[in-house]
Structure formats: structure tokens, C-alpha cells
Chains A and B, each alone.
Chain A
Amino acid sequence: MEYVSPEGLRLDGRRPMEMRQIRGELGAVAKADGSAVFEMGNTKVIAAVYGPREVQNRSQQLNDQALVRCEYSMANFSTGDRMRKPKGDRRSTEISLVIRQTMEACILTHLMPRSQIDIFVQVLQADGGTRSACINAATLALADAGIPMRDLVTSCSAGYLNSNPLLDLNYVEDSAGGPDVTVGILAKLDRVTLLQMDAKLPMDIFENVMQLAIEGCKAIANYIREVRTFQLVLPVVEDHLGTIREYQATGVSPGHIVFLSLPFLKGIPSQLTLPNSAAQVPFW
């Protein structure tokens, strides 16, 4: 099948390096501490964050950091044919884990010991790239909840079809069976927190595809900064040495959002999540 026409247009009229239309909105769930809806084309995800709050199950309590939990689900009506999906199937367990690990990498968990943060993401409408949309929605919701983070994690996928690297695959392109690289980055820090691919791809092509995905992530990060309606409470935090530091505010966007750049974090290798199904791609 021809996914990119010789005229350089994809099936839906995008060019290979173009993303779908994205839209973010804060405060979709009033009861939650933070919530957001994120759309990438026809993919629509809602995320709600509760916490930091008391740990429900005492045995899970961590004394030095916060417990981050994540639950991913797909609404029954999210795909074309309505069907009842059992909760906790392999796929959603895996995605829950991926989201939790990605978010854990950016939340300053050590600031909130003995507490718990719950992230609930639900796919309202699925059209490819749900994993990325979930992460972006979760980031927005965490920011909305005012949970201290190193940076905003943004995620985007890229694939390789008809000898063309393609940004932000939709469902049709996703089900073509080609490689699908999902990347999550801390845009300001230029750190990778998530890198997943379940196919084989030669190293040089893989680097191109991943670079494209990173560009996509950066574009999303720019957009998220423009979502003016959310506020981020600047936390006063201790670093791991116990001293209170002054944080440089590196950028203040029109709605008083402050992004942090933490010098001492630069030495920490980002957590690279490689769940079982992912290929063992060498990291740099």
C-alpha cells in the first residue's frame, strides 16, 4: 500500500514531517486536583491527577519519595466498533507502566515522601498515537495539579513507511506494520525519558526517525507552553543534599508559568524505560 504518494502527501493530506492538529485543555475534571484533555488529530485523551495525598495502602508507602501510580484505560466507545474490553489486559498494563515510569522521571518525587500521586488516563477516541497523547495529557494534568516537575515531558511518535520517516502516525499508518518509535523527552533539559520501538530498523534510519520524533516532541512542548490557562505553583524544594536551593526561572510564559532548570539534575541519566516488548535499542 502507498502511504506516501509520489507527490509527497500522506493518506490524510499531511506531508511526512507534519503533525496532526493538536489541542490541549486544562481543568476538564472539576473534582480532580488536576486534569486535562489532549487531542492529537482524532486521538482524544482525558487525564486526571489526584494527589499528592495520603498513601491508601500503607504497605506501599515509601519513606523517601512519593508513590506514583498510573491507570490507563480505553473507553469502550473509543474505537470504531464498540466493545467491552477487560480491564488490566496486557496492553493497558504495559501502557500504564510506561506512563508511570515516564512521569516518575519528571516528578520531583523526593519532595513528597510518604505520599501518593494517582494519574488516571482514559482514551476517549483512538486514532493512533494513544501512548503519546496519554503522556502529553498526563503532563498537562500534573502541571494543573501543581505537582513539582523537572520539566514538562512531551511525547510523540514517528514511523518509517515506504522508505519515508513519518511523524505522528495515525491509526491507518500505525496498523501498516512498520516500525513505530515513541519518544518522550524533557524538552528543556534535552533528556530522553521514554524510547520505545517494537520492530527492527537499521541504526542510521532509526536515528533519523528518532530525531524526527524528538522534533515532534519539541513542537508539542512549545504548544503546551502556549496553553495559557494553567498555572504551575513554584515549589520551594530541597535538593538531595538537603539544602534549599534557589531555582532559576528560565522562562516565564504569558500566563505565569515557570519552568525550572535544575543544574544538579544534569548529571542524572534519565530513566530510560524499556518494557519487555520494546526492542533493546542501545541508548546513544
Chain B
Amino acid sequence: MLQSKSFARKTKQGKVVKVVREHYLRDDIFCGASICKVCDSSVARLSSSASAILIVDTNVVLNQIDLLENQAFNDVVVLSVVLEEVKNKNLSVYNRVRALCSNSLRKFFVFSNEHHKDTYVKAMVGESPNDRNDRGARISNFLYQLLSKDFGKSLPLDVNCFIMPKAHWQSAFLFSVESYVKSLGQPDLLDLLVHPTSEDLGMEEVEDLRPAKRRVIYSEHKPMSEITSGLHRGIYHQGKLRVNRYNPFEAYVGSESIGDEIIIYGRDNMNRAFDGDIVAVELLPQDQWHEGKSLSIADDEDEENADVHLVPSSADDAPRNMDLVQSSAEDVKPISCRPSGHVVGIIKRNWHSNCGSLEPMPMPAGNGGVAHALFVSKDRRIPKIRIQTRQLGNLLGKRIIVAVDSWDRSSRYPSGHYVVLIENDIDSRPFSSQVLACLPPLPWFVSSEDLANPNRNDLRHMRVFSVDPPGCKDIDDALHCTALPNGNFEVGVHIADVTNFVHPGTPLDDEATQRGTSVYLVERRIDMLPKPLTEDICSLRSDVERLAFSVIWVHASLFLTISTRYTKSVIKSCAALSYVEAQARMDDSRLMDPLTTDLRNMNTLAKIMRLRRIERGALTLASAEVKFQIDTETHDPLDIGMYQIREANQMVEEFMLAANVSVAEKILKYFPLCSLLRRHPSPNKEMLEPLLRTAAAVGLNLDVSSSKALADSLDRAVGDDPYFNKLIRILVTRCMTQAVYFCSGDLSPPEFLHYGLAAPLYTHFTSPIRRYADVIVHRLLAAALGIYKLPQLFQDRPQLSSIADNLNYRHRNAQMASRASVELHTLIYFRKRPADTEARIVKIRSNGFIVFVPKYGIEGPVYLTTRGEKGGGQWLVDEEHQKVRKMDGSISFSVLQAVRIHLEVVEPQPNQPKLQLTLI
């Protein structure tokens, strides 16, 4: 049956056009119930034992998605009109519903009511789309009720909380979500229930009863139309709100229309905006612009204080603009005043789940066990969230995840509901049975088919060895270096052939795509691939035959690469060395066995490659990675120290870099539009500015015009202090942005540059066991060699881009998790042993400074004035020389100066221990 659909639409140019589309109605859309006698049950999703079928409406999906995700909810019908409405209102909820519908374990069925011949409704004259959709949904519900007579079971329920009792047949079957959940008799589900806010229709009347009780704290958000016109006229400025990590009451909005960042002080001005929201900001009159305030570390408000934390490893981790020039009150220059503003409206919310714990409170007596509690997020940038719970005793003192639902004008804190309980660790789900089913059976051996495969080279006779950190079980790279008779060297990098086991489109592959990377915590690892693969089948352990993907170069004696060859191979590693062992072998001049000779040859080659790379302008950056010695029984850290880098590390790194670069060249040549590469953008002026100012203050002139110039000036930066150079390098590192994965079709070739490595092309090839990007690159390389066909995915550029984005996101999360884990262990370490140590000042503030403790790799604030004391006047900040000096001139501190500090764990609020640094 054919229906035509016509509606008016406004084009981008503002013209109104009439759009006419065909709309086909079908008779082959089924109800999805397996017991239905009328419909084809082969596509049925709903179980035959279902006592009731739930049909959810848009508001239920939008508000109660956490509830629907609970296992207790099954046999749910989602109408396509509901999906469409959800998609228009909230894309992330839509994706979650879609995931539910496609999950074969959950019985969710999508009923395409818009295309079913009986449930299609034609818009009536004067009817709004919303009303038409409601009518459509009701008719579908009705259809299901009719069908239910055929089921011979009880009538289907409608989980629906807002349809007005218009039609007579509804009243019998409509249930509100709340009453339905109550009827299930599972109290923990009630906590997942989102309570309708006063903005909802039903509650409006309730609110009217006691309007006087409501106190409005925040000003109202402007309607969207006003915001748009305001943005047009330049009154409002649009940008992403970023809350200062050190001070949650201060936020910045980077605005393109102003070209500068607008500062927003205080929760009132932030007007319920969260970190990451896209907001519209109105500038305050100039006389209200604040001065000098951003220089202080903590705020005068009563809440929290700055934390001691790990040194950020790149500019992305560090709060930006902490260092922007701000003249002190003495020499007021109007230009140096930064514009401040207040939020008038929120264009796009960035609400997501937050991890944290509940503020301790006494157990309430009455109220049927329902308690209102305040949730304190681990992330200081998130305000406290008010939640309602029935199991307060259960949640107190635990780490939980809470989602934000709404933030009313009249409440100081946003309201939310709790989602998951986490027992003090990261949620690392085990692999599902479907995923594990994709694994080859253990014990696994190289089969004769693998050996017979013409694409696979037999390299078992080669003297291949691996060099890894001690205790490494997932060995994904091995090396060999053979001196050829003609004086050349053949060097091979062998990477575990993960793609031989992880095939595209399998559940295993999907899971790995989602996880994106393995996460390394201090004492454990959350794997991307199941353990049998990572530690056995793929791991290139010694003395077993393993499949590998090899890159083999022939280097001339002049150390020029003559040829590069890529092949799948079978190898048998003869030794799995640790960095220490490898280094010891190379250093021990008595050892002359072939393996040691190979190592030495390799090291010589690596050194030359490294030199050549540095000549090209690669940066040698330093990081402040720390290493823990863990007590094997209590899992408490025993000692912390800087991670030591040996020549052997550099040697392995050098060959991995070379392999990555070679592979990047190869795949880009074959697939110029769909290669997955990694780039490191050049830092811009703005990012380097704080560094330059610091450097200038200590009399160092850094040339940042190119990576080469920067590398050279870093080499020249040698102070009388042995640690000076490393400190400068660490400071440079954190000015850089992070390297990111991207799809080569999305950018132009000059943008492919990897700044830090000074490589025009780079990708990740060498760790497919722990990074999914490498798996993709392996597939690309195999396709370039003609071994496999290129999987479908690569032909779809948007999809590849979205995978690259997900990888970046996961990669970053993994780094954050590792950092958090290290921070936690640092805390545990210092809890038992307060220490005195030397530290370096890296930033100057009006009431103190931020120090870096090299020995433990941590960074944190040191206060010169005690808190609460508004004694900013005692200390003077000299911006130009980066100095803070006491009024009477008796003491002064300058940047990069060494100070002695005392480290101690204090616990100002329960469950929130933190490290405090004090000056000695």
C-alpha cells in the first residue's frame, strides 16, 4: 500500500520547501511474539513464557533508560515512532536502546509501526507531529492488545506514565512505570527509577500548591531561539565550558567570537552548566571583571582544595590557562583584565555518569526507607549530586556511579540516580561466552596448514629473541639481527600475528573494538583480548613456535636501509629477555655468544638510527613515570622510584618505531584513503607560551620554531643543576597535545606529521595484543600484501573515522585509569610513611606554588598562606621573573627553584584522603 507523506521543511538558507516522500505500508511486519499465531515467528524476539509484554513510550525510554537496561526488564516492545522521537531528543539514549534491541540476550523487539499497514496513522489536519506520534503509539498498543487474545496469555501491559486517559480502552491496561516496578517486588530497581522533576507535566500541579516554598537559586536559562538570535547579534558567545581542575568554582569558555577565553566565576554565574557543556555566555560589564583571582590555587568558598596528583603527561591532562598573565592589583592595566561572563543558556549538555561516593550522613528514620543523599564525585569539577535511594546503608562508604537527570532552578545541586555499585575497583567485566567461543582450543600449536601456507615464511631457524619488561607475559614483539656474509645486516621485527585469530565481524573482534586497548594498572591488567590469546597463543614466548607478522629490513654496512620486506611468518623465539638481562649481556664484555653479538650489533644500529632521527628533529622528551615495588601479600606499595630507562629499552623502542614507520608507508601507499595512522599535531604558540615564560624566567631561551630547533635548544639547556635538563624536558612534554589515531582520508598529507618523532608518517603496528589500532593496521598490511581481502569496514570511511575516535577515547581513558591507579598507590604508600623530600617549583601562584617531586613523580600545591586567611597581600608575585616574594623581601621563591617539602596524607573529608605538601 502506498501512502505519500508531505511536510514543509526549512532549508539552511531559510527557504521553506515542501517535501513529498513516498511511504510504503507493509503486511510483512510481525509482532515479534513467538507464541503469536498470526505472525511469522521466525523473527520473533519476545519469549513464549512472557507473562506480560511491555510497550514503552518515548518518555519512559528517555527517562528510565537505566531501568530498562536492568536485566529484570525483558519482553519489551519498542515502537519505531518512539525510537525516532528518542533519537531526535537524545542520541546517546537512542544508542543505548539500539544496543538493547540488538543484544540477543535481551528480549527487546522493535516494531516498525510506521510501516505496518494497520498501525500507520495519517496526520490529521491541524494535528501536531507529537500528537500524531502519540496516536500512532496508542494504535500500536491497541493492536498488541488485540493480538494478545491470540496469545492466550494475560493482556500486555503498557509501561506508560503520561498518556492522558482519553480513549476508553486504555485505562484497563495502562500502568505507570512506578507501579509496574513496584509490582515486580524488587526494591533495588526502584532506585534506578528516575523521579519526574517539576518540569514534567504531571508534577506541575503539585508544585503550584506550594510555590512559596520554592526558592529560586539560579537564573533561568534563556530559550533556544533567544540564544540563537543572541549569538547572531554577538551579545552571547558560544563555547565549551571547561571547569578548572584545581578550582571547581572557576571555569573557562573558549569563545571563537571573542578570540579569547571568558572566565566564569562561581556556581551562580556558571548557572548549572557542567564541565564539557556547550554553553552560551553573556559578558559581564567590564567593571565586574575579576582580577588576580585566577592566580590563586584554591578558592575562598568552603568546599574543597587543590589535590596533589601525578604530573600530567601532556597538555591535554593539564588544565589550560592556569598560567595566563594576570597583573596583580598594583599595576592595573585594563587590557590584562580578562573578560568574565555568566552562562545564559546551555546549548548541549555533557551529562554522563560520574564515579564517586556518598557524603556520609546518618541513616534516616522514617520515609519508607527512601533517603536523599548527596553524592560527591571523584572528579572535582563535577558538583555534588543529590540522589534518592532506598538502600543507603548499602551504598555508604562505597564507590558508586551516578547519572545526572536534571538540575532545577531551585535546587543547589543537580539531581541524579545511582547506576552501578563499584567495589573499589574499575569495572572490568569478564569476556562473554560468545567471545570465548571464538578462541581456538588450547593447547594450541602451529599446525601443518600454517606451515604449508605459501604466504607464511618459515623463520624458525632464525635466532629470534624478545626483550620486554621483567615479568611480561603478553610478549607481542620479537627481534632478530643476522650479519649477512656481504657485511650487511638483516634485521627483523616480528609481531604477534593476532589477526590470524581475531577475524573481523566475530564477537571477539567486536569486543576488542569496543575495549580498544588493554589497561595497565599498577598491579593488574585489564585485557583487550581474552587471556588464552594474550598470554599463550599470541604471546611470542621463548622456545615455542608462534605465528608472527614480520618486517624485515636489510641494512647496508653504511646503515642505510637497502630493502624492506613484510611477511607473515612462523618463528621460534630462542630467548625472552628482560631489559635488565639484555643490558647486562651487552655490557658484559666477556660474553661472546651469538645472541649477545646480535644484541650488540642491534644496539649499534639502533644508536645510529636514533641519531639520525634526532637529526631530523625528533624530540627527546622526558616523562616522570614512576615504578612501584609491591608487597606480594598485601598489595601495598613498598617503594616508589622513577622508571629507569636503559639502552636496551631505547634499542627495542628504536626498532619498533622503525617498523611502525615502514608499515605506515606501505599501507598508505596501497590504501591512501582508508589507512589508520597516528599523528602528533605540532603544538601551537598558545600552548607553548607558559613554557616559554618559565624558561625566560630562568634565563633560558627556547627556540620553538620547529621541532628540530626545539630539540637543539633543549640539548643546550644545561644548567649547573644535573636535574635541570630533565625538568625542562618534562615541562616541554606537558605542553604537547597527545598523539591521535586518524583515518588517512580525513586529513591532508601534511597533517599526517608526527611532531614528537619528526616522522611524516606514523602508525601503530607493534602491539596488536594490547591495542586494537594495531589489529586494524595488521589487517591493512595483510590486504596490502594481498594475503587477505580488505574487510568491509575499511571501505566505509565514516565508520573507520568513528573507530579511530573510539580508539583515541579508549586510549585516553586507559591512560587516565593507569594514572588514577598510580595516584591511588602513591596515596597508600604515603599513608604509612610521611616523608621529607626535595621538590622543584614549577608554577607560581599568589598564595603559594606548585611543586614537582621528581623522586615520586607527583605534583601538587604548596601553600604559603594558611587557608581562609586572606593574606594575599603578604606575598607579591613577580610575573616577569616568575617569583613570589614576601612583602618585606625576606624570603622569595622563584620558578624551578629546589625546595624541601614534607609529604603527608590527610583526610579532611571521610573517604577522600589526599596528599598534602608543606614547606619545611
Contact = CB atoms under 8 A, between A and B. Distances in A.
B792 interface: yes
B18 A172 contact: no
B24 A14 contact: yes
B22 interface: yes
Contact of A42 (B22, B80, B112, B114): B22
Given A12-B23, A172-B21, A7 B15 contact: no
A80 B22 contact: no
B101 interface: yes
B114 A163 contact: no
Contact of B795 (A80, A81, A202): A202
A279 interface: no
Contacts of B17: 80-81
Contact of B24 (A12, A201, A205): A12
A9 B20 contact: no
Given A6-B101, A7-B80, A13 B796 contact: no
Interface in B784-821: 789-790, 792, 795-796
A191 interface: no
Interface in A4-40: 5-7, 9, 11-14, 20-21
Interface string A82-111: 000000000000000000000000000000
A6 B24 contact: no
B792 A163 contact: yes
A284 B706 CA distance: 53
B112 A5 contact: yes
Interface in A178-207: 201-202, 204-205
A5 B17 CA distance: 26
A13 B114 contact: yes
B717 to A, nearest CB: 51
A9 B115 contact: yes
A21 B2 contact: yes
A6 B98 contact: yes
A113 interface: no
B19 A80 contact: yes
B661 interface: no
B20 A202 contact: no
A163 B792 CA distance: 8
A170 interface: yes
A158 to B, nearest CB: 16
Contacts of A14: 24
Contacts of A42: 4, 20-22
Interface in B1-39: 2, 4, 15, 17-26
B529 interface: no
Contacts of B24: 12-14
Contacts of B18: 80
B493 to A, nearest CB: 30
A252 B594 CA distance: 86
A196 B80 CA distance: 36
A12 B80 contact: no
A206 to B, nearest CB: 11
B110 interface: yes
Nearest to A202: B795
B112 A9 contact: yes
B795 A13 contact: no
A6 B790 CA distance: 24
B514 interface: no
A163 B797 CA distance: 12
Interface residues of B, number: 26
Contacts of B101: 6
Q: How large is the interface on A (under 10, 10 to 19, 20 to 34, 35 or more residues)?
A: 20 to 34
Interface string B90-119: 000000001001100000001010110000
A81 B25 CA distance: 27
Residue picked from B98, B110, B115, most chain A C-beta under 10 Å = B115
Contacts of A202: 790, 795
Residue picked from B21, B110, B796, most chain A C-beta under 10 Å = B21
B616 to A, nearest CB: 35
Contacts of A11: 21
A7 B796 contact: no
Nearest to A80: B17
A81 B20 CA distance: 12
A201 B792 CA distance: 11
B110 A7 contact: yes
Contacts of B790: 202
A205 B17 CA distance: 36
Contacts of A170: 21-22
B112 A20 contact: no
Nearest to A171: B21
B22 A41 contact: yes
A7 B19 contact: no
Nearest to A178: B796
B795 A205 contact: yes
B796 A163 contact: yes
A12 B19 contact: no
A12 B796 contact: no
A201 B24 CA distance: 29
B80 A5 contact: yes
A81 B789 CA distance: 45
Contacts of A12: 21-24
A21 B26 CA distance: 13
Interface in A131-181: 163, 170, 172
Contact of A13 (B98, B102, B115, B789): B115
Contacts of B21: 11-12, 42, 170, 172
Contact of A6 (B15, B110, B114): B110
Contacts of B80: 5, 7
B19 A13 contact: no
B359 to A, nearest CB: 43
A7 B23 CA distance: 16
Contacts of B115: 9, 13
Interface string B114-138: 1100000000000000000000000
Contacts of B4: 42
Contacts of B22: 12, 20-21, 41-42, 127, 170
Contacts of B98: 6
A7 B25 CA distance: 14
A163 B795 CA distance: 9
Closest 10 CB pairs of A and B: A13-B24, A13-B115, A12-B22, A80-B17, A41-B22, A7-B112, A7-B110, A81-B17, A14-B24, A9-B112
Interface of B: 2, 4, 15, 17-26, 80, 98, 101-102, 110, 112, 114-115, 789-790, 792, 795-796
30 contacts: A6-B98, A6-B101, A6-B102, A7-B110, A9-B115, A11-B21, A12-B21, A12-B22, A12-B23, A12-B24, A13-B23, A13-B25, A13-B26, A13-B112, A13-B114, A13-B115, A21-B22, A41-B22, A42-B20, A42-B22, A80-B18, A80-B19, A127-B20, A127-B22, A163-B792, A170-B21, A170-B22, A201-B795, A202-B795, A204-B789
Interface of A: 5-7, 9, 11-14, 20-21, 41-42, 80-81, 127, 163, 170, 172, 201-202, 204-205
Given A13-B23, A13-B24, 18 more contacts: A5-B112, A6-B98, A7-B112, A9-B115, A12-B22, A12-B23, A21-B2, A21-B22, A80-B17, A80-B19, A80-B20, A81-B17, A163-B792, A163-B796, A172-B21, A201-B795, A204-B789, A205-B795
